[in-house]
Structure formats: C-alpha cells, structure tokens
Amino acid sequence: MIPFTQYGSLLIIYIFTLLLIPAIIANLFQKKIKYYGIVLSIPMFILLLGLDSLAIKLFCVFIVCELILIIAYYYISKKISSEFVYFIVLGMSILPIFLVKLSVYTRFSGVGFIGISYISFRIWQLIIDIHDKHIEKLSFGTIIYFITFFPTLSSGPIDRYERFQQDANRVIPRTEYLTEYLGAGLRKIGKGIIYKFGFAFLINQYIILSLPDEHTIKTIIIYMYAYTLYLFFDFAGYSSMAIGSGYILGIKVMENFNKPFLARNMKEFWERWHISLSTWFGDYIYKRFVLNNMRNGLFKNKKNAARCGNMVTMLVMGIWHGPYLFYILYGLYEGIALVITDIYMKSKVYKNFKKRKYYNWLSRVVCFHVVAVGMLIFSGYLFSI
C-alpha cells in the first residue's frame, strides 16, 4: 500500500519542505530549477508509491507507455492529419484509467496508483493539443516533468503544458523568486496546513466522527453541512500546499479555489470550486461538445446545445470520480442544477431579483444549500445506510 499520503501529516510536509531547499539554492545561482525538480522527482515517487510495490511498477509502465504514445503521435501528426488516428491514440490513452476504475468490480481491485486520474488529464491535454497543433516543440524531459510533476501528483491542480513549460524553462530573477515564488509559496503552504490540519481536522474529529452510525434526518442534515465544509477545507488545504510547493519549484501552479461559498449561483460556483478541473472540463469537453454539435447541425439552437453540454460534462465529471451509482447521481444532479441555473438566469425573476439589496446574501445562502446537497450525494453517505 501507499507508505506516505502526500501532505498527509505535518512531519511529511516538514520533510518535504526541507527537500525543497536545494530549489532555492538553484535559483540563488540563477539556474533553472527544473533540473533539481526532475532529480527530486525520483525519491518523491518512491516515497509516495513505494520502492518495490505493485503501484510503482504500474506507475512506471503506465508513464512509459503513455510517453511512447505521445511522442509517436507527435511525429505521426506531423506527417498525417487524420481524425481516425487521433481517436485511436486518445482511446488508447484513456484505456488504462478506464480499466483501473472498473477494476474495483473485479478481483483485481488493488490495481492502480495514486494520481492516475489526475496524471491522465495532463496526458490527454497533451494529445489534444498535439492534434490542434498547439505544441511546437516536444521536449522529452519537460514532458515527463509536466506529466509527473510531484507536488500536484495525487490530486492536482491540473496544469496546462504550454504554460508549465514556459515556467519550467525560465530562470527567475532572484528578487522576483524571493517575493513572488518563495514567499508566496511558503504562505500558501502555511494556509494549507491551517485549512487541512486545523479546520478540516477539527470538523472531522468533533462532528463527523461523533455522529452515530444510524442515519436519521438529523444526522443527514448535520453530515451534509459538516461534510461540505470538511471537503472544502481538506481539498483547498491540500491544493494550497501543492500550489505553494509548486511555486517554490518555480512553477506558478494555477489556483483551485476562490472563495467558493461566495458564489451566488451554480455557474459562478463552478468558476470558484476545483477551478483547474472545471476549466479543464470546460475547455476540453463542454466547449468542444457544443462547438462540434453546432457545426454538425445536431443542435440548431444555442441554448439547447449549451444545456445538453452542461449535462454531458457534469455526467462525465461524476463518472470520472469512480464507477459508483452515487457519483453518477452526483453528476446528474450537478448537470440539472446548471441547466436550472441557466433557465433562472435568463428569466425576468432573476433580472428583478438582482436589483434588490438582499440579492447577494440570499443568493449565497440558497446557492450554498444547493452545493451542500450535491456534496451530500457525492459523499456516498446516503448509500451506506
């Protein structure tokens, strides 16, 4: 099993932060930090996946195979422009994660390794960008570094290759590094620690774990609020630590959360919660679904295309979490919530409501509850009765 959970304890974070010191020294000597980053990756993978475990073997095989696929596709796409090849390559790269996710229903349950879901996004993004002719130059080392960037290995944030390689290949001037990367990075790690080991821990320890096993209306309601807040602090805390570590390594990893509970409607919520995931889904699934289906005439009406796009995108997001009924229901719920939000935001009720003084706080309270019900479904609590 996994010897260490990434950012799982204060000791691990302390050791991890110490291991980042050579990155600071590298910048001091005005060298590209990425060389140290790549070198540090290897002990980090061993720490996260084990030295002789099934996980690390699968990880290596997976990375090598996907890399061969990416590089092969890059050279093929320079010679032939074929949609068929594109779909085959994409299909082949999706196959491993598809099998791993389904393996829970077979006797091979233990197959897989941490981070496979998130690494896959980076791989697919590369393949799609190669197809769209966005990648001018393929640098072998930077590609591996991008796909396996260890601060964001287990749960993201999900970065984009072009942006990442610009950061990685840059030598950052010392004062800029000190304030914008090191200082900011340490602050983010600190914030992450407070969120995850402070708030999330307290909510889990004193509320969630003290709930009785029996599910009643009362426990469901308490669990709903507690879990929603716990999930936020835990995930935002993890993200903050991952982003902060990325900064110290010279990479301005994108933010994952932006005060999500201030959202006044579900559309705004998804611009503030798990931002790297929702923008990835927005760019690579939603927009392409709507664009392609309006081009091929499946939808004549923009509104219908958009609403269908929302349903499809949210369903995919739900299922991506795992092959369980409650994830699918969660996807359906979020899709329907977005469609209703779209109808609401085009209505006269909304246009009048927006002008009222109490619009902001009332919308936020309602939105929070819509979110909380979704998180309740997502938690699977209702299915473990």
Task: Count CA within 13 A, CB hemisphere, residue 30.
Answer: 4
Least separation in angstroms between residue 287's CB and other proteins is 4
Would you list the DSSP string of 199-217? IIHHHIIIIITTS-SS--H
Which stretches of the chain bind other proteins, using CB under 8 A? 128-129, 132, 134, 267, 282-284, 286-288, 290-291, 294-295, 302, 306, 309
**299 φ/ψ sector (left φ>0, alpha ψ -120 to 50, else beta):** beta
**Rounded to whole angstroms, how far apart are CA atoms 30 and 109?**
47
Report DSSP state, residue 231: H
Catalytic residue among 131, 134, 274, 321: 321
Catalytic, 369? Answer no
Q: How far is the CB of 78 from other proteins (least distance, A)?
A: 18
Q: How far is the CB of 150 from other proteins (least distance, A)?
A: 26
| 159 CB-side CA count, 13 A | 27
Q: Which residues contact 69 (CB under 8 A, 6 or more apart)?
A: 89, 92, 93, 127
Residue linked to tokens 């509320």: 207
Nearer to other proteins, 180 or 342 (CB): 342
Q: Closer to other proteins at the Cβ: 12 or 128?
A: 128
User: Of 295 and 357, which CB lies nearer to other proteins in the complex structure?
Assistant: 295
Those residues whose C-beta lies under 8 Å from the C-beta of residue 215, and which sit 6 or more positions away, are 381, 382, 384, 385
78 vs 134 by CB, closer to other proteins: 134
Q: Which is nearer to other proteins, 270 or 381 (CB)?
A: 270
Q: How far is the CB of 280 from other proteins (least distance, A)?
A: 11
**Would you name the residues annotated as active-site residues?**
321
